[in-house]
Amino acid sequence: MAPLLKNIVIAGGGTAGWMTAAALSSLLGPDKLSITLIESEEIGSIGVGEATIPDIINFNHLLGIDEADFIRETNATFKLGIEFIDWGRKGDRYIHPFSGHGVDMNGYDFHQYWLRSRAAGNPHPIDEYSLCAVAARQGRFTHPDPNPRAILSHIRYAYHFDASLYARYLRGYAEKRGVRRVEGKIRLVGQAPETGRITHLDLEDGRSVQGEFFFDCSGFRSLLLGQTLGVGHIDWSHWLPCNSAQAVPSAHSGPLTPYTRATAKTSGWQWRIPTQARTGNGHIYCRDFISDDEATAVLLFGLDGEALAAPRTIRFTAGHRQTFWEKNCIAIGLSAGFLEPLESTSIYLIQEGISRFISLFPDSTLPDVLRNEYNRHMRTEFEQVRDFIILHFKATERDDSPFWDYCRNMTIPDSLTHKIALFRQGGRAFRYEDELFSRPSWVAVFLGQNIVPDSCDPVIASLPANEVMASVESMRTAIVQAARQMPTHEDILKCYRKAGAA
Ligand SMILES: Cc1cc2nc3c(=O)[nH]c(=O)nc-3n(C[C@H](O)[C@H](O)[C@H](O)COP(=O)(O)OP(=O)(O)OC[C@H]3O[C@@H](n4cnc5c(N)ncnc54)[C@H](O)[C@@H]3O)c2cc1C
């Protein structure tokens, strides 16, 4: 048998670097695998990336992280979904919740019954049938009930947290498990002349770190995969035209909401993410349509609390590297690719990169078949997330700015055109190939952005309207009542703070 990999080097200590270090060190102790992480305090990390999706819970479980400890150390709050304001039309408001809508019946999706009831006059939007959405609007939170028959078992949640504190937390975790941290700036990436494989990283102070396998977690620089191995970037900015962000923290202005808010603006959109210590805000925009100064004005005008710092500008291009694993190097995080943070998917893509590597863990011969499979999988993941995000921009009736005119009229990937056409035809929605976003997520965004089919499934259309109305209404009532019994998000967070102080 070929020997195991023994010496891994991670270049970069942002969220991607420390998540990689923590996961690998929890899997293989220092007796089996030597892990070195190089980071530069002078360069620092990007410092944004505060909203997550429920998959983060699996990652934390894998590491055996105690939730209460994590919440305290990262200033985390709970998140039940994302509220979208002004996307389909100005004045629109809907929640993409983490829980599904209603309960499927007789093998048919709940939304088919909802479409039937809507045609018969039901005035309630679909998010009133989602426990997470209803609880979010009421500012409530509770953990899922372990009894699968209980309504509260439908709760699915994620976190908002301080990204720098999360990286610091994982650093402590990884260092306890033997990860060696090297502070310094990488000056040169050494390669074997005959194979092109990376052999070592030279630091500015003259030290050199040797390795067998390298993770490029250097952020947008993509120091190893992009700059050294020359792997090109696939540019998706014709579909996701936003290319700049300005981020600023602000003071709280009221109770901490258990959801992220994404408000469409004239040339982009603004996020609002409450963590325990402050609210994270950012304006994502396209510079072809708005200047930086105008974007700053929009951002500051949209804050609901006092700005706590000057806005920081970040540039990006939507897309990903042509390959994610090349020779003996995998890029994880921003060095691998970046899509709009609209659905909080970047940390998920980091997690997916790490877990796919673990499930394909190579021996020291680095078989091509493993690399090809990794690249295939990550490409598919990025493309599926891409389509879901494009949907928010494409499915709009807004015609109040050149930016929205562009988005409304742009051509979109065939895969997304197909999904939209299928939904228009009787509300058909499916989850393909283990894709991240499940059917209820697609349904939430289709309907939230006003893609409403003319009719529902013909079988459901043939059911008596009054019976459908009654069963749909009984679900709505049960959900509203269940949400009312939940504690407020503020009270839950107080319990964590008190437990920490005790
Ligand atoms: C505007 C914006 C908003 C976002 N919002 C979200 C969100 O809400 N949810 C979400 O999931 N994701 C979000 N993301 C993405 C998220 O921020 C990143 O995926 C995550 O922070 C990982 O970043 P990273 O570790 O890849 O890069 P970085 O944080 O940039 O880390 C790079 C590391 O490499 C080191 N480094 C670089 N060059 C060198 C060198 N020469 N020598 C030594 N060290 C070096 C740096 O010091 C740093 O430690 C957002 C991104 C942007 C741009």
pLDDT (tens digit, 9 = 90+) per residue, 1-14?
Answer: 788 899 999 999 99
- Please give the number of the atom of ligand 1 that sits closest to the Cα of 334: 26
Q: How far is the CA of 53 from the centre of ligand 1 (A)?
A: 17
| Band of pLDDT at residue 501, cut at 50, 70 and 90 | low
Q: How far is the CA of 451 from the centre of ligand 1 (A)?
A: 34
**Beta-strand runs (E) in 73-114:** 77-79, 81-85, 93-97
Query: Which tens digits make up the pLDDT trace of 443-466?
Result: 999 999 999 998 999 999 999 999
pLDDT of 385 over the 90 cut = yes
Tell me which H or E stretch contains 281. Answer: strand 279-285
- Residues 119-167 have pLDDT tens digits of 999 999 999 999 999 999 999 999 999 999 999 999 999 999 999 999 9
pLDDT of residue 2: 81
Distance CA 181, CA 200 (A): 16
Token code pair at residue 164? 């720098």
Does pLDDT of 399 surpass 60?
Answer: yes
Residue 172 beta carbon below 6 angstroms from any ligand 1 atom: no
Are 410 and 394 in contact by the 8 Å Cβ rule? The answer is yes
Pair type for strands 34-39 and 180-183: parallel
Ligand 1 in contact with 353 (CB < 6 A)?
no
Which atom of ligand 1 is nearest to 316's Cα?
53
Residue nearest to atom 5 of ligand 1 (CA): 49
Helix/strand/coil (H, E, C) string of 323-372?
CCEECCEEECHHHCEECCHHHCCHHHHHHHHHHHHHHCCCECCCCHHHHH
Please determine, for residue 502, whether its predicted confidence score (pLDDT) is greater than 70.
Answer: no
Give me the pLDDT at residue 500, please.
Answer: 66
CB half-sphere exposure, 382, CA atoms < 13 A:
27
| Closest C-alpha to ligand 1, atom 6 | 49
Does the annotation count 79 as an active-site position?
Answer: yes
Region for residue 252 given its phi and psi (left: phi exceeds 0; alpha: psi -120 to 50; beta: otherwise): beta
Ligand 1 centroid distance, CA of 354 (Å): 15
- The residue from 6, 32, 79, 185 that is catalytic is 79
Average pLDDT over residues 364-388: 97
Half-sphere exposure (Cβ direction) of 159: Cα atoms closer than 13 Å: 26
CB of 344 shorter than 6 A to ligand 1:
yes
Q: What is the pLDDT of residue 185?
A: 98
pTM above threshold 0.85: yes
Rounded distance, CA 130 to CA 99, Å?
6
Place of tokens 């949640």: 157
Rounded to whole angstroms, how far apart are CA atoms 198 and 327?
8
- Report, as an integer, the average pLDDT of 295-305: 97
Distance separating alpha carbons of residues 38 and 175, to the nearest angstrom: 13
Q: Which of 227, 334, 389 to mutate to test the pocket of ligand 1 (most atoms within 8 A of CB)?
A: 334
Distance 219 CA to ligand 1 centre (A): 5
Per residue in 309-350, pLDDT (tens digit) is 999 999 999 999 999 999 999 999 999 999 999 999 999 999
Reported as a single tens digit per residue, the pLDDT across 408-441 is 999 999 999 999 999 999 999 988 878 999 999 9
Q: How far apart are CA 404 and CA 289, in angstroms?
A: 10
* Amino acid in position 377: H
Residues 6+ apart with CB under 8 A from 210: 7, 9, 199, 200
Contact 273, 51 (CB under 8 A): yes
User: For residue 192, which amino acid is it?
Assistant: A
331 alpha carbon – ligand 1 mean position (Å): 12
Q: Determine if ligand 1 sits within 6 Å of the CB of residue 222.
A: no
| 186 in contact with ligand 1, CB cutoff 6 A | yes
Relative to the CA of 220, which ligand 1 atom is closest? 30
**Cβ contact 479:133 at 8 Å:** no
Q: Which residue owns the Cα nearest ligand 1 atom 38?
A: 218
Can you state the percent helix, strand and coil of the chain, rounding each to 5?
40, 20, 40
Mean pLDDT calculated for residue range 178-190: 98
The stretch 400-407 carries a mean pLDDT of 98
Chain mean position to CA 84: 15
Which residues make Cβ contacts (< 8 Å) with residue 319, sequence separation at least 6?
A: 233, 234, 235, 236, 237, 337, 338
Residue 34: predicted pLDDT: 97
Kindly provide the residue ranges of all beta strands, DSSP E only, lying in 132-175, ordered along the sequence.
158-160
Query: What is the spatial distance between Cα 405 and Cα 397, in angstroms, rounded to a whole number?
Result: 9
What are the φ and ψ backbone dihedral angles of 7, each rounded to 5 degrees?
A: -135, 105
Instruction: Point out the ligand 1 atom lying closest to the alpha carbon of residue 203.
Output: 42
User: What average pLDDT does the chain have?
Assistant: 96
